[in-house]
Structure 1
Amino acid sequence: MPDFQGSGTAEDPWVLNTPPGGSQYQVHRDETAEPPALVCQVGTTKLSYQLRCIDDLHAMLKAYGDWMPLGNADEQKPAAPGTVEAWARADDNPVGGWYGLRKGYRGRFANYVPPVLEALGLVELEHNARNNRMRAL
């Protein structure tokens, strides 16, 4: 399990690192949002994803049964097929499209959500300089 701080609330957010370890960011659950959100604060930028992404991503990885590349990409760039990022945008995922809630900032799912699952003990996540992968535990 990685070293991280916080309890995941707005008052005490998780303090996590991106998979390559180059950037630190804060994350908390906002269950009062509509829909409930996972809010990521990256410097002055706020990104948010549907909170259900934690359970949905874990279930998908368990069903997949192997390592899956992250494939991190901005919203304006296509996600490589067969990656976590592509799944988070796919029409056939459990929400029928983007998990990202803020237009223009819906990408980078594979950069900010996997460390949350790792902190929760749900996945194993690689921490290489590039081309990281994850798998369900």
Structure 2
Amino acid sequence: MDPTDLPGYAGRIHDYFAAQPEHFRLMTWGQLELAAPGVRPDDAIQRAAAHRIEQLRTAQETGHLDPAWDPLDVLVFVNQIAMSWANRPDLARTLSPEDHALHLAARRAAIVAAVQRLFPATP
């Protein structure tokens, strides 16, 4: 994740789950069924999230990201916007293959635009 380009990051997350929807389902199932309560330093997912939160905090401290946001909120909002269509595949099932490709491109553009408005990319 590049905290100076959260719109690009969101687009890549969308692309990943659009290409591999089974990974989204497994991730969701794991969050529901396998998540142990509390902080576990040996948990790779918790370590990765903590690293991203620290990246966001550093970007705020160096003027690349609005410091008014809690870094955890930034991470959650960007990820949820990026994965919003992965959670609703039913809305695209009636599309032809040609329309599906256009749908994916339009959804990606909407995701990138939404994140850009909330957390603009910076140099």
Fold match (TM-score > 0.5): no
TM-score (norm 1): 0.26
Structure ranking higher on relative contact order (CA contacts 8 Å, 6+ apart): 2
Q: Larger strand proportion, structure 1 or 2?
A: 1
**Structure with the higher helix share, 1 or 2:** 2
Give the TM-score normalised by the residue count of structure 2: 0.28
